[in-house]
Amino acid sequence: MKGGDVIGKKTLIFIVMLVLVTAGIASGTMLTPKEELGKLIFFDKHLSINKNQARAACHAPEVGWTGPDLAINATGAVYEGSVPGRFGNRKPPASAYAGASPILHQMQDGTWVGGMFWDGRATG
């Protein structure tokens, strides 16, 4: 497989995800009051330390609820936070399936399952 083929597949996946997200937004589905509150919180820049960055900046809906920069996502790098020049130590995971993760636990075979983030530090 050539390098261009891989880039083509990633681009196609991105376009499909973008179409699906856009279709969901365009459908005008009514939100419950709790969902509307969550949406307001997720997109509110005033909750960051400098009132300049919403949670959606690193978990962008238009790219599958993960970081909006494909190059940063591909290398596992991190995004700049609310404070200019300050970076965290973790790449933002996709938040699309956050509610579906089971509580972090170890299976009988020793495999760890569940939790959020690559190291399972949040237990769902």
Q: What is the pLDDT of residues 78-106, one digit of tens each?
A: 888 899 999 888 777 777 666 667 778 88
Residues 6-60 have pLDDT tens digits of 556 666 666 666 665 555 555 567 888 888 998 999 999 999 999 999 988 888 8
Q: Which pLDDT value is given to residue 3?
A: 47
Q: Which pLDDT value is given to residue 107?
A: 93
- Helix (H) or strand (E) segment spanning residue 6: helix 3-26
Q: Which pLDDT value is given to residue 51?
A: 94
Q: Which pLDDT value is given to residue 1?
A: 44
Instruction: Determine the Cα–Cα distance for residues 58 and 117; give it in Å rounded to an integer.
Output: 14
pTM as predicted: 0.56
Q: Which pLDDT value is given to residue 16?
A: 61
| DSSP letter string, 38-101 | HHHHHT-GGGSTTS---GGGTSBGGGTSB-S-HHHHHHT---B-SSTT-B-SSPPPP-TTGGGP
Tokens representing 111 are 């495999």
